[in-house]
Amino acid sequence: MLLDESFEKYNHPRFIQNDPIQIPHSYTKKQDIEITAFWSSMLAWGQRKTIINKSKELFSMMDNAPHDFLLNHKDKDLKPFENFKHRTFQAIDCLYFIEFLSYYYKKHDSLEKVFIKHMNEDDLTTENMLVGFHNEFFSLDFAPQRTRKHIATPARKSTCKRLSMFLRWMVRQDDKGVDLGIWENIPTSILLMPLDVHVRRVATKLGLLQRSQNDFKATLELTNNLKAFDPKDPVKYDFALFGLGLDGFAK
């Protein structure tokens, strides 16, 4: 099958070197992996090379020890972040991310906990987790309104592409070692496809997506259709659809 062939081709260690997933792969401490994976995925729009370079720039300002930085930084250490920018992600957004993650990691040892807190036993997708995470992320009194656009939620009908990619990175685990798979409490069967315009183009050409709007319902439709091929791990086909796009399948 075309999807499985493309999955095998792109779910390979060589994929890492040109993809933002290389950023968390360069760390060994669990919290550093989580933090860099989360932040890199939130910055993941635009060219992959630019995303990688901006992520490296960001974490170099934390001496490439983000967990330690979040727990122990002083106010003066925040000065460099006042000039950080990636597309519409501005300094005010960056400083709030630092504020929330500092607050969170002083109370918890893993970001997984905030997601599973909102997971119900009978959930068929991560929808409840995505809504819950967004609400908790902006639960601090001084959360900037403009920063909310950088953390998607199904409540706004977003595809939640970047958060779904982050969860794929954290949850999926196989013998190829591309996805990090360091979380053990979220089943791969409820993960949602990271849907962007490139994946949409390929999925539409393959007849896997009929919905014309790029929204959360489209994410659900595509994911459900992919479950027909692998109900336990539908998002593995993210590699396939992305790879087919790279190969010019839907031009």
pLDDT recorded at residue 247: 81
Condensed to tens digits (0 to 9), the pLDDT of residues 141-183 reads: 999 999 999 999 999 999 999 999 999 999 999 999 999 999 9
Residues of the chain with pLDDT under 70: 250-251
Condensed to tens digits (0 to 9), the pLDDT of residues 111-150 reads: 999 999 999 999 999 999 999 999 999 999 999 999 999 9
Distance CA 238, CA 236 (A): 5
Whole-structure pTM value: 0.96
pLDDT recorded at residue 240: 95
Lookup: tokens for 58: 């960001």
SS3 185: coil
Q: CB atoms < 10 A from the CB of 76, how many?
A: 7
Instruction: Output Rg (C-alpha) for the chain, integer angstroms.
Output: 18
CA 212, 204, 233, 34 dihedral sign is negative
pLDDT recorded at residue 46: 85
